Amino acid sequence: MAYYLESLKKKIIMKRMITLLSIAILFNISANANAQEADKVQEIIENEDTAFKYRKVENKAFKVGEFLKYKLAYGFLNAGEATLEIKEAPKKIQGRDILWVEGRGYSISAFDWFFKVRDQYDTYLDAQGIFPWLFVRRIEEGGYKKQQDYQFFQNKRTVTDVKKEKQYEVPHGIQDMISSFYYARTIDFTGAKKGQIFEFEAFVDAEIIPIRIKYAGTKTVKVDAGKFECMVFHPAVQEGRIFKDDDALTVYITKDENKIPVLAKAKILIGSVRMELIDYKNLSNPIAKK
């Protein structure tokens, strides 16, 4: 019984860390797999809808080639890593330029023996509107596997779940799990007041959910990648399930035009977890490093 409880506790810890990564991203393969994803893009290409007025978002925060790498830790123990990279998309969609964002999360070898994590997320973003056209999710977490393929038809205001052959009505500009992170980086926080809340919507696990991020001021943060001047935010979470209250999760974003997360930390029902930046490349702007 003691062994079973200890094993269960370890699995809970890893799931909490995965949840932290997912929420932080909201503000988170081989050549054959890449070819398969390219095929999925080809599948949703339609005749260009010139009559529909797509929104346009000013983006100075990121570009093709940007690479971010994070480590995840429970207490003082390193347990996993995650990467986000922007690549050139192999195709246009409805005649529009696309950014291909590839996200990966994985447990390090020392943790694989009791809770192996291999998560892959791909989103194909409209380069002008910063909204998704296609979202691909492949996760393996402790033996649990899940696959999702969402096709976003922004001009029709619908999302199709390819695996379940089901269609959902959504508002134009709806985000997915990964695109939410990039869209949030285009928001102008100049003049933001403490307590001010910024909101938008995302389609996650067949539901439209509100994403709420509360501004909490500025702070200098030191992590493995260096020392940074940051803006502080509290993404809203579900109280009582994993995090203790709305302010239990804190995300630190560089106070510059890149607006990349440097650190995310959370107090959970069992201890605390954190995700911190360990490497970055090809940013669009100078970074607020001290």
Tell whether the model's pLDDT for residue 216 goes beyond 90. Answer: yes
Backbone angles phi, psi at 99, to 5 degrees: -105, 130
In this predicted structure, the answer to whether residue 45 has a pLDDT above a threshold of 60 is no
And the tokens for 145? 């596997």
Of residues 138 and 27, more confidently modeled:
138
Report helix, strand or coil for 280: strand
CA distance 245 to 80: 25
Confirm if 25 and 83 have CB atoms less than 8 A apart.
no
How do residues 68-119 score in pLDDT, each as one tens digit?
Answer: 999 988 777 788 899 999 998 988 888 899 999 999 988 887 767 767 888 8
Question: Residue 42 pLDDT > 90, yes or no?
Answer: no
Q: Residue 118: which of 99, 135, 137 has the closest Cα?
A: 137
Q: What distance in Å separates the CA atoms of residue 154 and residue 70, rounded to the nearest whole number? A: 31
Q: Which of 124-133, 238-247, 265-274 has the lowest mean pLDDT?
A: 238-247
- C-alpha–C-alpha distance, residues 137 and 126, integer Å: 18
- Supply the pTM of this predicted model: 0.82
- For residue range 142-166, list pLDDT tens digits in order: 788 889 999 999 989 999 999 899 9
Q: Measured in Å, how far apart are the chain's first and last C-alpha atoms?
A: 51
pLDDT band at residue 188, thresholds of 50, 70 and 90? very high
- Backbone phi, then psi, for 35, in 5-degree steps? -65, -35
175 vs 8 pLDDT, higher one: 175
Q: What stretch of H or E contains 264?
A: strand 261-267
**Of 29, 47, 25, nearest to 38 (Cα)?**
29
Answer whether residue 266 shows pLDDT above 70. Answer: yes
Average pLDDT value over all residues in the chain: 81
For the ranges 14-23, 114-123, 235-244, the one whose mean pLDDT is highest = 114-123
